[in-house]
């Protein structure tokens, strides 16, 4: 796994990202904390299937009297086992649970017994997920599940470790958080590139269209040949052009008109030079943004390979996250 430099969790996270901790930006401590907590749940989700030993310190057991036990919604995916009076329960889907429940009165092919109890998790009511066990009238129901309290209570700005959380587990959560922040950076960088590219395109269309440079060139052209602009309209620049002064053999007016025309050409040149410099600077900035985007993408892929590779999995989202999308 990557070497995590830094003391606090936040320092380690941004060491993996490859940037300093942002200050005065759109990022907030709450956002980082949300990613950290999300990372804990993602690591647990994958570890339940591949490496339970990794999350052993997070496993906690609760016992209640009776058949029903209410749990937090985010614990539904992390119930490891349910015991009814010291006998392990088999989990059954919610739609099949009713067949067990009705069996005593109506008969059926499904039956739960004291030696072979079953349970289901009823999460139809938001914020009120309930573990239900059968047969009824249990003396004690014990539930093993993941307790995120220590992780959710960590202060990323000051914490260097979490009580009961192994360094390996913490590092995986840090890795996940860095990936999420890199993804945000990629989105932000892409938006900046699109915006700047649009600005450059608009500027070029303006400079080459109806901008100051075009106006100066049109004026110079009209001074030489008034047919270049309709002098009977509001766009008229001159009523007598250089060609007409040539016909009248008025050398002084010819010289004056040519001088003004040259000034207009010079004005167009100055404007073109200025605008080309602006476009050049914007293009250079665009190149820098693209380079950063490439760096972020490469870094994200590296961290993803490391993160998912630890669990022996391809780069993909857990099923429940795919469904949410």
Span 66-118, pLDDT tens digits = 777 777 766 677 788 899 998 999 999 888 887 886 665 666 678 888 899 99
Answer yes or no: pTM beyond 0.95.
no
Q: pLDDT of the chain along its 325 residues, tens only? A: 555 656 889 889 999 999 888 775 444 567 888 999 999 999 988 888 788 888 888 888 888 877 777 777 666 777 888 999 989 999 998 888 878 866 656 666 788 888 999 998 888 776 678 888 888 888 888 888 888 888 988 888 888 888 888 999 999 999 999 999 999 999 888 888 888 877 776 766 666 555 555 555 565 455 444 444 444 444 444 444 444 444 444 455 445 544 555 555 555 555 566 666 676 777 788 888 888 889 999 999 999 999 999 988 655 554 444 444 4
CB under 8 Å to 14, separation ≥6 — which residues? 6, 20, 21, 178, 181
Secondary structure E strands in the chain: 59-64, 68-71, 79-84, 87-88, 90-91, 118-122, 129-134, 141-146
Q: Please give the Cα distance from 296 to 192 (Å, whole number).
A: 14
The domain segmentation of the chain, as residue ranges, is 1-59+153-325, 66-139
CB under 8 Å to 40, separation ≥6 — which residues? 148, 151, 152, 173
The pLDDT of residue 90 is 93
Span 204-228, pLDDT tens digits = 666 655 555 555 556 545 544 444 4
CB under 8 Å to 65, separation ≥6 — which residues? 139, 140, 141
The pLDDT of residue 74 is 64
CB under 8 Å to 154, separation ≥6 — which residues? 9, 36, 162
The pLDDT of residue 282 is 75
The pLDDT of residue 51 is 84
The DSSP call for residue 8 is S
């Amino acid at each position: 796994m990557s070497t995590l430099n830094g003391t606090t969790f936040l320092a380690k996270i941004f060491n993996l990202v490859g940037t300093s901790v942002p200050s005065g930006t759109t990022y907030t401590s709450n956002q980082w904390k949300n990613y950290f907590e999300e990372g804990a749940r993602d690591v647990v989700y994958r570890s339940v299937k591949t490496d339970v030993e990794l999350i052993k310190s997070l496993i906690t057991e609760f016992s209640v009297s009776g058949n029903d036990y209410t749990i937090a919604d985010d614990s539904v995916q992390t119930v490891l086992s349910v015991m009814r009076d010291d006998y392990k329960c088999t989990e059954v889907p919610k739609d099949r649970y009713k067949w067990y429940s009705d069996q005593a009165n109506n008969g059926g092919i499904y039956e739960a017994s004291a030696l072979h109890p079953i349970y289901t998790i009823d999460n139809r009511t938001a914020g009120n997920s309930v573990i239900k066990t059968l047969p009824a009238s249990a003396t004690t129901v014990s539930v093993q599940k993941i307790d995120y309290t220590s992780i959710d209570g960590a202060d990323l700005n000051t914490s260097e470790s979490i009580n009961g959380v192994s360094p390996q587990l913490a590092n995986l959560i840090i890795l996940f958080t860095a990936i999420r922040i890199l993804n945000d950076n990629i989105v932000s960088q892409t938006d900046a590139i699109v915006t700047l590219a649009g600005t450059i395109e608009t500027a070029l269309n303006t400079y080459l269209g109806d901008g100051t440079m075009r106006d100066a060139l049109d004026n110079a052209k009209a001074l030489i040949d008034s047919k270049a602009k309709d002098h009977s309209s509001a766009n008229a620049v001159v009523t007598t052009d250089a060609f007409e002064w040539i016909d009248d053999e008025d050398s002084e007016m010819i010289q004056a008109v040519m001088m003004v025309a040259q000034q207009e050409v010079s004005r167009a040149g100055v404007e073109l030079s200025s605008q080309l410099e602006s476009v050049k600077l914007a293009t250079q900035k665009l190149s820098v943004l693209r380079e950063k985007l490439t760096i972020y993408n490469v870094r994200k892929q590296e961290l993803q390979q490391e993160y998912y590779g630890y669990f022996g999995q391809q780069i993909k989202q857990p099923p429940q996250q795919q469904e949410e999308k």
